[in-house]
Amino acid sequence: MSTETKRLVVGPFNRVEGDLEVRLDVADGEVRQAFVNSPLFRGFERILEGRDPRDALVIAPRICGICSVSQSHAAALALAGLEGIAPTDNGRVATNLILATENVADHLTHFHVFFMPDFARAIYEDRPWFATAARRFKAAQGESVRRALATRATLLHVMGLLAGRWPHTLAIQPGGVAKGADARDQMRLIATLGAVRADLEERLYGAPLERVAEIADVAELEAWRQAGPDGDFRLFLEIAADLDLARLGRAHDRFLSYGAYALDEGRLYTGGTFANGRAKGLDPAAITEDHSFARMEGREAPHPPFEGSTFPDGADETGYTWCKAPRLSGLPFETGAFARQVVAGHPLARDLAAREGANVRARVVGRLVETARTLIAMEGWVRQLHPGAPWCAQGAMPQSGRAFGLTEAARGALGHWMVVEKGRIARYQIIAPTTWNFSPRDAVGQPGPLETALVGAPIRQGETTPVSVQHIVRSFDPCMVCTVH
């Protein structure tokens, strides 16, 4: 049966961070083309211009309340680059803890608050798992939703201890952190993480974190679904199998990660790219932004961020979003927890990537596996803190210079590019994870990862806000206030 192409405009798109609109061309019960619109522009890159460079630590985090610490880390890295210093050991480990806390909290928020409630929608009431899903994941009310929020609040006590508060702490400094921890703080951290572990092991995974972190391939994942321990993870696997979520939302299968959590040597999750079955290093100089379909001036050519600009053009007609299109060596890349685990070489992530590429199920599984891995690492970091040793190296800001800060936020690769002149910020460019994932088409018409992932999504009769589209969109855990800032 062939029908006319219909246009659907979906929005406001909630249970994502910030406001999002998706335009769909629909025909024959499926999406033919998708256009992603980031409808909010604030202009942070302009707000930062002319300020004392260190003020970036105050302003940049306020780009986004859900990945505020990542923003501040990117800024601190850029400042450290300018000052030519590195954090002390304690500073590095404490920063890891602060970052990891935000990332784990975000993963928990995403799974329980943003993503799963869609399966408690009435549209699924005929599914065998519906009663359980509804009981646990009804938006704002489900048992697991509430328990997860409580656990998230407990987890964020790490912020109270190490960073003062969250979001928007000034704790992360170029030379480390603003506050030391003593042995009793270590104990409180252990207790806090222990409580988080206990809840996740009981409710989410039904098993020790270690078992989740060790799932080695798709077969084991399948076994977990069939006979694994009870818990929301297994419930998701069941739903995914029933709804075939592994077939939904595949994009380009090109993965990008800047690498996360500096260790004594190297990183906990190594960075780079992964595409076509191969991992590669990364050349930051190959990153550009294309303004062709962004309502931004400067469409002539893609911009390396150090030369980037942000002049909104309200009158522009071709642009359909405030979002620029970042490209690595001219190609769109997907970023996020799944990408990070693929790049870092986690066996299950690699196996998933090899067998089915990125999709709704893979992205969610990637996030849940990473959550377990990160929490385990955090417990170790707490013990690596060394009360009595220094927490913050001191540096001096040069009158001019340029530096970037690359880090991994919950949603993936985040970069800040800062240019200082006469002691003031002359240029500041930010490329956030969702900027990569939800980028519009570029000069050569390449759609961004989400735009690609939506093609082929099934639309049911009469749906105006198609549920499959929602699953795909939310599988990226988008943050629209990061996307455009």
Q: Considering the complex, what minimum distance in angstroms separates the CB of residue 201 from other proteins?
A: 11
Helix (H) or strand (E) holding 33: strand 30-37
**Residue 394: exposure state from Cβ atoms within 10 A (0-12, 13-18, ≥19):** exposed
The rounded Cα 459 to chain-centroid distance in angstroms is 27
Q: Considering the complex, what minimum distance in angstroms separates the CB of residue 308 from other proteins?
A: 15
Is 323 labeled as ligand-binding? no
Is 482 labeled as ligand-binding? yes
Q: Which of residues 27 and 190 has its CB atom nearest to other proteins in the complex?
A: 190
Take residue 58 and report the two structure tokens written for it: 């105050």
What are the backbone dihedrals phi and psi of residue 466, each rounded to the nearest 5 degrees, phi first? Answer: -55, 135
**Residue 443: exposure state from Cβ atoms within 10 A (0-12, 13-18, ≥19):** middle
Q: Considering the complex, what minimum distance in angstroms separates the CB of residue 385 from other proteins?
A: 11
Q: How many CB atoms lie within 10 A of CB 228?
A: 21
Separation of alpha carbons 451 and 51, rounded Å: 36
Q: Which of residues 59 and 279 has its CB atom nearest to other proteins in the complex?
A: 59
Q: Considering the complex, what minimum distance in angstroms separates the CB of residue 68 from other proteins?
A: 6
Nearest residue to 286 via CA among 301, 302, 265: 302
- The number of CA neighbours under 13 Å toward the Cβ of 5 is 8
Is 392 labeled as ligand-binding? no
Q: Considering the complex, what minimum distance in angstroms separates the CB of residue 278 from other proteins?
A: 33
Does 304 sit behind a cis peptide bond, omega within 30 degrees of 0 on the bond before it?
no
Query: Using an 8 Å Cβ cutoff, are 469 and 22 in contact?
Result: yes
Alpha helices (H) in 156-206, listed in sequence order: 157-162, 183-199
Separation of alpha carbons 414 and 159, rounded Å: 21
Query: Using an 8 Å Cβ cutoff, are 333 and 256 in contact?
Result: yes
Q: Which of residues 220 and 379 has its CB atom nearest to other proteins in the complex?
A: 379
Q: Considering the complex, what minimum distance in angstroms separates the CB of residue 275 from other proteins?
A: 31
Classify residue 389 by its DSSP letter: S
Q: Which of residues 114 and 274 has its CB atom nearest to other proteins in the complex?
A: 114
Q: Which of residues 186 and 270 has its CB atom nearest to other proteins in the complex?
A: 186
Q: Which of residues 169 and 446 has its CB atom nearest to other proteins in the complex?
A: 169
Q: Which of residues 151 and 341 has its CB atom nearest to other proteins in the complex?
A: 151
Q: Considering the complex, what minimum distance in angstroms separates the CB of residue 22 from other proteins?
A: 8
Is 67 labeled as ligand-binding? yes
- Cα→Cα distances 425→63, 401, 402, Å: 17, 10, 9
Q: Which residues are annotated as a binding site for Mg(2+)?
A: 45, 430, 485
Q: Which residues are annotated as a binding site for Ni(2+)?
A: 64, 67, 479
Q: Which residues are annotated as a binding site for Fe cation?
A: 67, 482
Q: Which residues are annotated as a binding site?
A: 45, 64, 67, 430, 479, 482, 485
